[in-house]
């Protein structure tokens, strides 16, 4: 089985060909739009959509060429159907629908978060059920993954996502965009103990996250030092290390609670991390330790498969096709699309940093 996967929900145009047999990833092309957005200090949705439109055709052809196949060899076409920046999602969905219609191929509208969630099965064949820490630019959730299309949310952020905290923190430190990789590299020469930063919700019951108090504390620390432009190289390194450690501590603490919760419902199961923030080496090391303390297996996809890519969408499409979950061509792109629609809205009532 061979699936073409298309991803256009954020600032990466990506196309990949993935099969059932190993090596599964036959081709995976990712075109970053970073240079186009950098002058604005963040992602501009209209620029993203126009750029996807300009490059997707060439990228998809490139993926097929690299896999050494034509459209006739495909068994289906998978595309991110949401959630994400709606202009970009529409570009991908229309493109995929046109191919599906013209080539009479099964069409699979994949939830971007399900793409991240199933990546550990693409790379490591992790069996269901497993506990997933999904940490990206827009999402920060703990989920019990029970099967394809079957997710139960154990916790979510009541304000910012972890990736957002990295990105906004980097901006405060004058490190530019995207923040995660910049913070990680600046933190290498830093002393995480120099500036005490809070760990919101750490030690509190439940599995929810909160990062806005941490962001505020960082802003106040920077202001006390005279503002972003007054920071020395060492200040930036120490603050980056402090922020990375604080975010990591929060993620590990909440995940520890989720391991206990997951065990009550499913018995013992593996821990998986996914999403762009999962590329962070300090976090991966901390989660490796956490999993071994609890005696459970741990899987983290290689960093290039943690950040957005087409292979994860193709793989999720493949799993959905195998499960008979084909979509109709009247599928409407979704700006919002929770993995667990039954989960209640999280509120930040009563949170203190």
Q: Which residues contact ligand KG4 (rule: CB under 6 A)?
A: 10, 136-138, 163, 166-167, 178-181, 184, 275-277, 279-280, 307-308
For the chain, how many residues are written? 353
Whether the CB-CB separation of 80 and 8 falls below 8 Å is answered with yes
Which residue lies nearer to ligand KG4 by CB, 64 or 316? 316
| 3-state helix, strand and coil shares in percent for the chain, rounded to the nearest 5 | 45, 20, 35
Which of Zn ion, ligand KG4, none is residue 33 near (CB under 5 to 8 Å by kind)? none
From the CB of 106, what's the least distance to ligand KG4, in Å?
25
Q: Which of 171, 302, 294, 296 lies closest to 240 in space, CA to CA?
A: 171
Beta bridge partners of 3: 18, 76
User: Among positive and negative, which fits the CA dihedral 267, 269, 274, 277?
Assistant: positive
Considering CB distances under 5 to 8 angstroms, the limit depending on partner class, which of ligand KG4, Zn ion, none binds residue 184?
A: ligand KG4
Give the shortest CB-33-to-ligand KG4 separation in angstroms: 12
Instruction: Count Cβ atoms below 10 Å from residue 262 Cβ, excluding itself.
Output: 27
By the criterion CB under 5 A, which residues form the site for Zn ion?
A: 136, 308
Between residues 221 and 309, which has the closer beta carbon with respect to ligand KG4?
Answer: 309
| Min separation Cβ 31 and ligand KG4, Å | 13
Taking the complex as a whole, how short is the minimal distance between the CB of residue 180 and ligand KG4, in angstroms? 2
Element spanning 13, H or E? strand 12-19
Q: Can you tell me the distance from the alpha carbon of 45 to that of 175, in angstroms, rounded to the nearest whole number? A: 22
Q: What distances in angstroms separate CA 188 from CA 155, 238, 287, one per listed residue?
A: 30, 9, 19
Closer CB to ligand KG4, 50 or 171, in the complex: 171
Minimum CB distance to ligand KG4 smaller for 82 or for 275: 275
When CB distances are held under 5 to 8 angstroms depending on the partner's kind, the choice from Zn ion, ligand KG4, none that residue 129 binds is: none
Do 247 and 162 meet the contact criterion of CB atoms below 8 Å apart? yes
Q: Which of residues 155 and 163 has its CB atom nearest to ligand KG4 in the complex? A: 163
Smallest distance from the beta carbon of 58 to ligand KG4, in angstroms?
21
């Amino acid at each position: 089985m061979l699936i073409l996967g298309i991803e256009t929900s954020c600032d990466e145009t990506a196309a990949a060909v993935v099969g059932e047999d190993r090596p599964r990833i036959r081709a995976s092309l990712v075109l970053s739009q970073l240079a186009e957005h950098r002058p604005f200090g963040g992602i501009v949705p209209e620029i993203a959509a126009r750029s996807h439109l300009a490059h997707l055709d060439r990228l998809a052809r490139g993926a097929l060429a690299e896999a050494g196949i034509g459209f006739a060899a495909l068994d289906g076409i998978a595309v991110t159907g949401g959630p994400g920046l709606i202009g970009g999602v529409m570009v991908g969905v229309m493109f995929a629908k046109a191919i599906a219609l013209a080539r009479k191929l099964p069409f699979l509208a994949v939830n971007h978060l399900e793409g991240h969630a199933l990546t550990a099965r693409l790379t490591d064949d992790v069996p269901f059920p497993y506990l997933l820490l999904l940490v990206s630019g827009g999402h920060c959730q703990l989920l019990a993954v029970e099967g394809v299309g079957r997710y139960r949310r154990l916790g979510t952020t009541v304000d910012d996502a972890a990736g957002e905290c990295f990105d906004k923190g980097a901006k405060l430190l004058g490190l530019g965009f995207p923040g995660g990789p910049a913070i990680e590299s600046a933190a290498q020469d830093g002393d995480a103990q120099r500036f005490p930063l809070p760990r919101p919700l750490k030690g509190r019951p439940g599995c929810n996250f909160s990062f806005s108090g941490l962001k505020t504390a960082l802003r106040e620390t920077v202001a006390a030092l005279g503002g972003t432009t007054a920071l020395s190289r060492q200040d930036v390194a120490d603050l980056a290390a402090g922020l990375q450690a604080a975010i990591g501590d929060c993620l590990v603490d909440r995940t520890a609670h989720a391991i206990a919760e997951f065990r009550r419902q499913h018995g013992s199961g593996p821990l998986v991390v996914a999403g762009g923030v999962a590329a962070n080496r300090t976090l991966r090391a901390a989660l490796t330790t956490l999993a071994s303390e609890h005696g459970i297996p741990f899987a983290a996809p290689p960093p290039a498969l943690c950040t957005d890519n087409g292979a994860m969408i193709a793989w999720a499409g493949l799993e959905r096709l195998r499960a008979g979950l084909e979509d109709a061509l009247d599928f409407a792109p979704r700006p919002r699309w929770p993995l667990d629609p039954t989960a209640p809205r999280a509120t930040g009532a009563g949170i203190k940093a």
